[in-house]
A and B are shown apart, each in its own frame.
Chain A
Amino acid sequence: DVKVTQSSRYLVKRTGEKVFLECVQDMDHENMFWYRQDPGLGLRLIYFSYDVKMKEKGDIPEGYSVSREKKERFSLILESASTNQTSMYLCASSSPGTGSNEQYFGPGTRLTVT
């Protein structure tokens, strides 16, 4: 079974702090994704990566950056957290080899910025 893990289930940070959200997958997947989920808005793609050290902006990259130094790990960075970044953050991975775009999700990190 594919396993995607996220470093924290709940996180509380102060405005202006630098925040790191970590995601690790154990299935050797090439693609990894970061989404944020807000009520009524569904899942919105922040960034994705299709290979080590490669990244592409998603639909809402402003205020975020990412890092992928190893294939299994994809980090989301909030350089200076703001209250409007309070949200649920979901990480996912997939492999082009499956041919079907199926993404496997982690349990999510609920981030509160005060």
Chain B
Amino acid sequence: AQSVTQPDIHITVSEGASLELRCNYSYGATPYLFWYVQSPGQGLQLLLKYFSGDTLVQGIKGFEAEFKRSQSSFNLRKPSVHWSDAAEYFCAVGSNTGFQKLVFGTGTRLLVSP
């Protein structure tokens, strides 16, 4: 069965500092991987996705993520955090067969300090 682990429940970063959010997945084949962001009181918005090709993927709002098969990881990065990036971030894994279900991690809440 697929599973996703986001080991950090909360992370605080100073504005302008770099950011890395961790995501580890468990899946037997090549997974589809996603990062979503949820601002307070809102639904989820897709930041980026990986399903084949270049292992470094670029997303919206200046985010990027790198798929590392050997480490079963898909960490999200941003070189310089803005106050508006404060939100909750979810990593998700899906399969390329079946009903296109996604399995989500428990989320990481990002706080940005001035």
Contact with B along A40-78 (1 / 0, CB 8 A): 111111001010000010100000000000000000000
A18 CB, min distance to chain B CBs, angstroms: 25
Chain B: CB-nearest residue to A104? B46
Q: Which label, helix, strand, loop or mixed, suits the secondary structure of the A interface?
A: strand
A31 close to B (CB within 8 Å):
yes
How many B residues touch A, CB cutoff 8 Å? Answer: 24
Residues of B within 8 A of A40 (CB): 9, 106
The answer to the question of A101 belonging to the interface, with a C-beta cut-off of 8 Å to chain B, is yes
Partner among A4, A31, A42, A58 whose Cβ is within 8 Å of the Cβ of B107: A42
Listed by A's residue number, 29 A-B pairs whose Cβ atoms lie within 8 Å are A31-B99, A40-B9, A40-B106, A42-B105, A42-B106, A45-B101, A48-B99, A48-B101, A56-B99, A92-B44, A94-B100, A96-B100, A99-B51, A99-B96, A100-B32, A101-B34, A101-B94, A101-B96, A101-B102, A102-B34, A102-B49, A103-B100, A103-B102, A105-B43, A105-B45, A107-B42, A107-B43, A108-B41, A108-B43
